Amino acid sequence: MAKEKMSVTERHYLTLDKIIERHGDKPGGLIRVLAKAQELFGYLSRDVQIHVAEKMCLPVGHVNGVATFYSQFITSPRGKYTVSVCLGTACYVKNGQDVYNRFRELLGVDENGTTEDRMFTLRSTRCIGACSLAPLIAINDHVHGHLTVDDVAGLLGKYQELEAEEEAADIGAEPVRAAGHQAEVSPPN
């Protein structure tokens, strides 16, 4: 009889179980396991937390406490684009907070929130080491420097336009262009 093919999720759980076996009982083991789980699944869903708790014989509340305490862990799904607004000192004094607030207003989400269409997740970060470009933000790996509050709508428009083009390419139709963006910032590749 032919072997049944494992789903990607099943493979991820298998990999995770091996990490638990190898590191679960070592000091800092839970953090290591959760970091691997996040790498595999993208975020630490309730199901993943329960799985880790069962395999490591820990209360779910403890696993959840660790998952929600450390800022590197994400417990809800992320959007396709993560908007990281730097609120380090150099960016902050150059109105980084206003830029952050404008993203919050336009996206309609709070810190670590994801838009309903799962396109954008908003988060603030500390200094990312490019202070000469302050105030800056990153959208996934693309850094956009010297951003003003007035640039925000245009920048989001570029990404929405890119998304519309991708969707149009998928269905072989003409893309609908987003209106009203004028920001002089690096476009997404």
Site residues, ligand FES (CB under 6 A): 86, 88-91, 127-131, 134, 136
User: Taking the alpha carbons of 63, 68, 72, 76 in that order, is the dihedral positive or negative?
Assistant: positive
**Smallest distance from ligand FES to CB 147, Å:** 11
Q: Collect all residues with Cβ–Cβ distance below 8 Å to 89 and sequence separation of at least 6.
A: 127
**Smallest distance from ligand FES to CB 146, Å:** 11
Closest listed residue to residue 101, CA positions, set 110, 114, 93:
110
In this complex, which beta carbon is closest to ligand FES, that of residue 79 or of residue 88?
A: 88
**Smallest distance from ligand FES to CB 125, Å:** 8
In this complex, which beta carbon is closest to ligand FES, that of residue 91 or of residue 107?
A: 91
In this complex, which beta carbon is closest to ligand FES, that of residue 40 or of residue 143?
A: 143
φ/ψ (deg, to 5) at 125: -130, 165
Q: Collect all residues with Cβ–Cβ distance below 8 Å to 123 and sequence separation of at least 6.
A: 82, 83, 84, 85, 111, 112
For residues 99 and 149, give the distance between their C-alpha atoms in angstroms, rounded to a whole number.
Answer: 5
CB atoms within 10 A of CB 88: 19
**Smallest distance from ligand FES to CB 38, Å:** 24
Name the residue whose CB lies closest to ligand FES. Answer: 88
In this complex, which beta carbon is closest to ligand FES, that of residue 67 or of residue 139?
A: 139
**Smallest distance from ligand FES to CB 106, Å:** 21
In this complex, which beta carbon is closest to ligand FES, that of residue 127 or of residue 178?
A: 127
For residues 77 and 68, give the distance between their C-alpha atoms in angstroms, rounded to a whole number.
Answer: 14
